[in-house]
Amino acid sequence: MAAEYRVSMANPKPKSVTRPSQNSNVIARSKPAAAVKTAYSLAEREEIFRRFSVQRPEPKGELEHSNPFTLVVAVALSAQATDVGVNKATRALFKVADTPEKMLELGEEKVRDYIKTIGLYRNKAKNVIALSQMLVDEFAGTVPETREELVKLPGVGRKTANVVLSMAFGQATMAVDTHIFRIANRIRLAPGKTPDEVEARLMKVIPKHYLYHAHHWLILHGRYTCKARRPECERCVIADLCKSPEKSWDVAAPLIELPPQMIGEAVE
């Protein structure tokens, strides 16, 4: 190897350069950035969310709350529970404790009594008291308006923080719950292996002017139409656009504005 090196240095040769012929169509260009994974063109995505906007012009979350604090508590309690079940428990709870201070006065034992019909109620009651204490100690009793601060609260993860940012503070976020995760993968809108991966992809593929309501549109579509076990494709307003290999219908349902959904109606 040393001899070869000396020879090459003594008799340097220009490096060969491959040049396209005059008739070549090869054009030198930089490597394009990787495209976000989705089965839909921009025009198709625009049409999907346009239809959702006609169907539900002002979609609402279905957890009952009266202020940012009760929203944080309700969303934290909803983990591995239904909105219907959470609402039944919190109606009475929030009548007596709708601020962090009042929740601390109530105490963990009484909070448990109010929410004992909800799964994991013991641990959730502990978190409700702990997050109430942190709000009082570190945030002067107010709910913070950033994700970084919200996820510091006991029992509050990224999904809960995103719901609060959207519903309480009007920020465009994507809280990936079981419905959104299922739909993003099933219809190949933004497939991903984890909720965080799906969230990041949805934030990129959803047209910006539809992003604020997209979270609720996808949840409600998954809850009432594109259900887990028996998707009702014949009632789907995007059946003709849907690229799910599971779909059983190719004709879009009539595009009409729906009346306000009664919570619990048609839920699996």
pLDDT number for residue 42: 96
pLDDT digits (tens, 9 = 90+) for 199-237: 999 999 999 999 999 999 999 999 999 999 999 999 999
3-state SS string over 102-169? HHHHHCHHHHHHHHCCCCCHHHHHHHHHHHHHHHHHHHCCCCCCCHHHHCCCCCCCHHHHHHHHHHCC
Domain annotation for the chain: domains and CATH numbers: 42-60+173-235 (1.10.1670.10), 68-167 (1.10.340.30)
**Confidence category of residue 152, pLDDT binned at 50, 70, 90:** very high
**Confidence category of residue 32, pLDDT binned at 50, 70, 90:** very low
- Is the CB of residue 202 less than 8 Å from the CB of residue 48? no
**Confidence category of residue 81, pLDDT binned at 50, 70, 90:** confident
What positions carry a catalytic annotation? 159, 177
The distance in angstroms from the start CA to the end CA of the chain is: 73
The mean-pLDDT minimum among 30-39, 124-133, 217-226, 246-255 falls in 30-39
Distance CA 174, CA 172 (A): 7
- Sequence-distant (6+) residues with CB within 8 A of 53 are 210, 213, 217
pLDDT number for residue 37: 86
